[in-house]
Amino acid sequence: MAAAHHVCGGLLLSETHTDAVMYTYRVKNVMQMARTKFQDAWIVDLYGYGKALFLDKKIQSALLDEYMFHEPMVQPGMFTHPNPQRVLVAGGGEGATLREVLRHNTVKEAVMVDIDDELVAFCKQWMPEWHQGSFDDPRTTLIHDDARKIIAQYRNHFDVIVSDLTDPLEAGPSQMLFTKEFYQLVYDALTDDGVLTVQSGAGDPLYPYLYGCIVRTLQEVFPVVRPYWCFVASFMLPWGFVLASKKHDPLALTAEAIAQRIEERGVKGLRYYDPFTHFGMFAIPPYLRDVVAQARVLTDAEPFNWEA
């Protein structure tokens, strides 16, 4: 949760990371506010970071550095697959994850599933810098439903699935989208050489437990599981991701092969991901490897409960 405080010269938004730590953002202007069936959505203008989206008063994305999240979220998985044609995005309401998928000229079908239609409409209207028209791309199909229900309807269909879901808070809409049973549905929906990438929460030493549990859970389902991370400035934290694959290993690629795929697919203007950062992101430190080794498998019967 976050608290709003009026101070001389503006408004402060304080977001709680754990009981011990809060991060504070100085707000220049509250631009738009909405209440959907699922969450509160705010678009604010922050000093330093610019325009930013907060959901239930937790920062989701800021204009200054959104590429520092969305390129790592999407591009390692897309370039690990040799020919991604059919892609599903779970979540990703502001449209930037979809945007990154559609940069690849190999993509013929992009299905985005987000349960919150009101949020997607809100973001489409007020966050064009993020989606850049991706909702209206002829390759895009938008579905407003539960991602688990939709993914369960597919078998051997998608080359890449990108799970850009909100954290699995207790009783929230995403809690059952991080379990072994859910990832088995994802596995079944992927082609024989399909690739999954998952946003996996903070990778800081204070509270890396969700990250560790996601990695450990995916190891129960997929033969290739590679955790990776990057620092997202507006989150004020290192952020965790996981690539899980039926066949292709992102560390088996060469820098030359990645560069060739970038050129052949016509992907231009990357600001974070390239053949060098690809490998750097997968070099997670010993403390995170230890967290993974000690983590538990998440199941429908015992999902993740946030206890920070």
Q: Which residues are catalytic?
A: 164
Is there a contact between 246 and 223 (Cβ–Cβ < 8 Å)?
A: yes
Residues with Cβ within 8 Å of 104's Cβ and at least 6 positions away in sequence, in order, are: 78, 84, 265, 266, 267
**In DSSP terms, which residues pair with 158 in a beta bridge?**
190
CB 153, CB 188: distance < 8 Å: no
Do the strands 109-113 and 86-91 form a parallel or antiparallel pair, or are they unpaired?
parallel
Contact 224, 244 (CB under 8 A): yes
- Pairing mode of beta strands 2-7, 58-62: unpaired
Give the E-state strand segments of the chain in sequence order.
2-7, 10-18, 21-35, 40-46, 50-55, 58-62, 86-91, 109-113, 140-143, 158-164, 190-202, 224-232, 237-245
CA 77 to chain CA centroid, nearest Å: 12
CA dist., res. 168 & res. 150, Å (int) = 18
Dig out the tokens for 276 from the structure.
């060098």
